[in-house]
Amino acid sequence: MPELPEVETIRRQLADEVIGKTIESVWEDWSKMLRPSPDEFTNAVVGATITDVKRRAKLLVFQLDSSRIFTTHLKMTGRLLYRSLLDEPDPYTHVLFNFTDGTQLRFTDARKFGFLELLPSHHTYSTIVNNYGPEILDDLDCSIFAQILTSSNRRIKDLLLDQTKIAGIGNIYANDGLWMAYIHPERSSSSLSDDEITALHTSLEHVIQEGLDTGGASDNWYVQLHGEKGSYQERFKAYGRKGQPCSRHPDVMIEYLKVGQRGTFVCPVCQQLG
DNA sequence: CATTACCTGCAA
DNA sequence: TTGCAGGTAATG
């Protein structure tokens, strides 16, 4: 569930619930999910107290009072659920944290692409920070954005999805941002005019903020920390709307194509190549 | 740049 | 049964 609005929504809820909680035990039934290994992960976190939960790109970063850090990535179908010992089991649970107060943090993942990773003991938050490009909402003013776009000839949509260039955008918000800015996803990023760059910057900020305000897109697997759905899926502009009318051209249907292997949605009138 | 791999559920 | 899925790393 992976884009910035979904991950940040979970982060805020996690910060309210698990900061100050002490990990009593860890359970798993899919060893690849705990890195570097279930034993090393468990030995380092059991007995530790969570002091902070941060986010970098789509990665959640848990800081412990032992000064160790572990991260988690939800990939496509991962969920984090905060429950009590007495609550019903959740389907596809593969990792479970038991806190000393009887509450639990459950990691569920139907496709098992997600993971939790203990960082080496000398790693700090800045180690993670450096792996990614500027955060779309925090670090990316329009001039930096322009510099990133004009210094590449890649298709604009591929560039937006590259976390090392810009952090936080995924397929939903890339599609909607490009639609909102009237830009075809296969345009070369260096071919965009100054006005188009400005429009795209504004549009991306807008759709990401709208995603945050609506608690994320629960189109498929994503739910928030307590199992509630977000509602950005009710605001989709282009993403997922194949065959439905473009809201700016009621007689024109949104079309579907593949761009760099990813499903892509465009209005053939609003968004044109060349 | 495209393809494959990691996995499984679900809709067509 | 086939193809698709919000991600990303690895490989040709």
Q: pLDDT, tens digit, for every residue of A235-269? A: 999 999 999 999 999 999 999 999 999 999 999 99
Average pLDDT (A165-177) is 98
Question: Would you place residue A128 in the very low, low, confident or very high pLDDT band (cuts 50, 70, 90)?
Answer: confident
* Closest residue, by C-alpha, to the C1' of B9: A110
pLDDT above 80 (res A1): no
Query: What separation in angstroms does the CA of A179 have from each of A138, A150, A176, A268?
Result: 22, 20, 5, 10
Is A2 one of the annotated active-site residues of the chain? yes
Average pLDDT (A42-58) is 98
Report percent pLDDT > 70 for chain A.
100
Question: Would you place residue A129 in the very low, low, confident or very high pLDDT band (cuts 50, 70, 90)?
Answer: confident
Amino acid A171 CA to nucleotide B2 C1' distance, rounded Å = 18
Residues 122-181 of chain A: which lie with beta carbon within 7 Å of strand C?
161, 163, 170-172
Strands (E) across chain A are located at: 23-28, 34-35, 50-56, 59-64, 69-73, 78-84, 93-99, 103-109, 115-118, 245-246, 249-253, 255-259, 262-266
What would the pLDDT profile of A68-107 be if each residue is shown by its tens digit? 999 999 999 999 999 999 999 999 999 999 999 999 999 9
pLDDT at A238: 98
Is A262 one of the annotated active-site residues of the chain? yes
pLDDT above 90 (res A130): no
pLDDT at A274: 78
Average pLDDT (A15-29) is 98
Q: Mean pLDDT over all residues of chain A?
A: 97
Query: What separation in angstroms does the CA of A83 have from each of A8, A40, A53, A58, A107?
Result: 19, 25, 18, 23, 11
Amino acid A248 CA to nucleotide C11 C1' distance, rounded Å = 42
pLDDT above 70 (res A221): yes
Q: Please identify which of the residues A186, A235, A262, A268 carries the catalytic annotation.
A: A262
* Closest residue, by C-alpha, to the C1' of C4: A263
Map tokens 């690849």 to a residue.
A32
pLDDT at A14: 98
A207 in Cβ contact with A224 (< 8 Å): no
What would the pLDDT profile of A181-217 be if each residue is shown by its tens digit? 999 999 999 999 999 999 999 999 999 999 999 999 9
Quote the CA–CA distance of A25 and A45 in Å, as a whole number. 8
Nucleotides of C strand lying within 7 Å of any protein CB atom? 4-9
Average pLDDT (A160-170) is 98
pLDDT at A188: 98
- Find how far residue A112's CA is from the centre of its chain: 16
Residues 14-43 of chain A: which lie with beta carbon within 7 Å of strand C?
none
pLDDT at A2: 86
